[in-house]
Structure formats: structure tokens, C-alpha cells
Copies of this chain bind each other. A is one copy, B any other.
Amino acid sequence: MELVTSIQSMHDLAERLRREGKVICFVPTMGYLHQGHLILIQEGKSRGDILVVSIFINPTQFGVGEDYAVYPHDLEKDIKLAESVGTDFLFVPTVKEMYPESYQTFVVVEEVTKNLCSLSRPTHFRGVTTVVTKLFNIVRPDVAIFGEKDFQQLITLRRMVKDLNFDIEIVGMPIYREEDGLAMSSRNIYLNHDERKAALSLHYSLLKAVELFSCGERSTERIIGEVSRILGAEKLVTIDYICICDTENLRDLAEINTDAVLAVAAKVGKTRLIDNVVLRPSQ
């Protein structure tokens, strides 16, 4: 594995690999790699000739008062983990080179970023689409892999890739969970013992929703009511949102008559966690 830290080196590498006809597969991350990331990376390994992983804690996707300054990082460990699953190039650019003084260009996806996480993080997706555009231009991948835990991010990036004519296949990978069901996240490290226990209610509430849905419930109001009741019963949990949306345009649904995503976001103590499940009426 080769560590690449300058944008120009990564540019040149990608260009050379493409001219050699290599298929480049790319997994962008913010580092502090966990098993969920490793599964994305392993999937990437199987989909291309060359696997590039990036680690970049992107300041533009954090809002004021969010956890940018304290976001967990451990580059030494990440290097070992990335290498252990077959990464060819680990791209770790600096904030200074990614966002030099007088930086002023942003990519905005307008419709699918109106709901869900944007309600409490209004500039988050602008930061995500901007940094991913930059990374795509630097790494020049044929395939890029993202986790479905960040469901709105995945839909937003698919939309961006289509709209801006990037010739890149976007692959979404299922949520990877701890043994007890908690969705893997670098932010889980923030949780203390009691919070870790309370955080499980996110998963349980989704399981309950799936059960209701399987029994024929199609009213989003009733399903959301049940999820809300379960999360509300946990003292350490503060609900940010519970939404059931069309998986295509992320607009709220009153009735589940098309593929829908039930997405929840909540603070557990001070840690904001998200989780989701897709509900398909056709299956």
C-alpha cells in the first residue's frame, strides 16, 4: 500500500492508472475505520483493479457547534487496517491543500437535501457534495462505494453523479451492525456505558416498524408514532427526526405505496446517531 498526501501526486497516479486501462475503485472515508468501512473496502477490492481509500475529515460538512474539532482519528491504526484489507493507495490530503485561502466553490444538490438531516444540519450536504466532487476529480474512479447508513448522502451523491455527468458507478452497501444491532459508526466511540445501551433503541424501533409493516401497516403516521414511542421511552435519547420518505426523492410519504425509507436521527447524550431501514411494499 502506498500513502499519498499531495493532490498532484494522486492526480498523476490516477491519470497514469487510467491510461493503463485500470479500473479504479474508490472508498472515501473520514477515517477512524471500523468494520463497516472495512466491508466497503473489501467490496471495493472486488470491483476494480486498483483500490483507492481516502481519509479526510471534511470541515465543510460540519456545522457550527458540531464535532469537527473532536472527530475521532487514529491515522496509524487506519493505515494498518486499510492495508490489511488490500488498499492499494491511501489518499490522506491536508485541509490546507483541499481548502486553500480564497476557496469559494460549492456543489449543491437542491431537492433531495431538503428533508431529513438537512432539517438540523442545513449546510451538511453542500459540504459532502463539494468534497466528493473534489475527490472524484482527484482520484478519477470508475466505481465509488458508500454505506447505506448515510442513506440521504447516498441518494444525494447518486443524484449529483447523474446530474453532473460523472462517469462513475455509485455502489451502496447495506448497514453493518454490531452484534447487538447498533449501526456501526465512528461516533459510537463517544457513547458511555448507559448511552451505548440506550442507543440500541434506534435499532429496536426500526425492528418494530418492520414488524408493523410486515403485518400490513402502511400508514406512516402510525409507524412513526410507534417508533417515536419507543425512542421517547429512553431518557438519554432526544429525537432529531423520524421520517418515512420516498427512496427516490426523499419526500415525506403519508402512506407507504412505493419503496420508502424509514430514517431516524437522535442524540444519545451528546452524540448524534442515525439509522434507517428500507420498506418495500412490492416484496
Q: Which residues on A are within 8 Å of B, measured CB to CB?
A: 7, 11, 15, 18-19, 21, 102-112, 129-130, 133-134, 137-138, 159-160, 163-167, 249
Assembly CA distance A280 to B18 (angstroms) = 42
A137 touches B105 (CB 8 A): no
Contacts of A167 in B (CB 8 A): 11, 15, 137
Contacts of A110 in B (CB 8 A): 104-106
**Distance (Å) between the CB of A248 and the closest chain B CB?**
9
A108 touches B105 (CB 8 A): yes
> Chain A interface secondary structure, helix, strand, loop or mixed?
mixed
A105 touches B18 (CB 8 A): no
Listed by A's residue number, 10 A-B pairs whose Cβ atoms lie within 8 Å are A15-B167, A18-B18, A104-B111, A105-B108, A105-B109, A106-B108, A106-B110, A107-B107, A134-B163, A137-B167
B108 touches A112 (CB 8 A): no
Given contacts A18-B19, A19-B19, is CB(A164)–CB(B134) below 8 Å? yes
**Distance (Å) between the CB of A111 and the closest chain B CB?**
4
A102 touches B249 (CB 8 A): yes
Residue of chain B at shortest CB distance from A140: B167
**Distance (Å) between the CB of A42 and the closest chain B CB?**
27
Contacts of A159 in B (CB 8 A): 104-105
Assembly CA distance A183 to B130 (angstroms) = 36
The contact of A134 among B106, B138, B165, by CB within 8 Å, is B165
Given contacts A18-B19, A19-B19, A102-B249, is CB(A137)–CB(B166) below 8 Å? yes
User: Lowest 6 CB-CB distances: which A-B pairs, in order?
Assistant: A105-B163, A137-B165, A104-B110, A104-B111, A105-B109, A134-B165
Assembly CA distance A201 to B130 (angstroms) = 43
**Distance (Å) between the CB of A216 and the closest chain B CB?**
31
Residue of chain B at shortest CB distance from A134: B165
Assembly CA distance A58 to B71 (angstroms) = 42
Candidate in A19, A21, A165, A166 with the most chain B CB atoms within 10 angstroms: A165
B107 touches A112 (CB 8 A): no
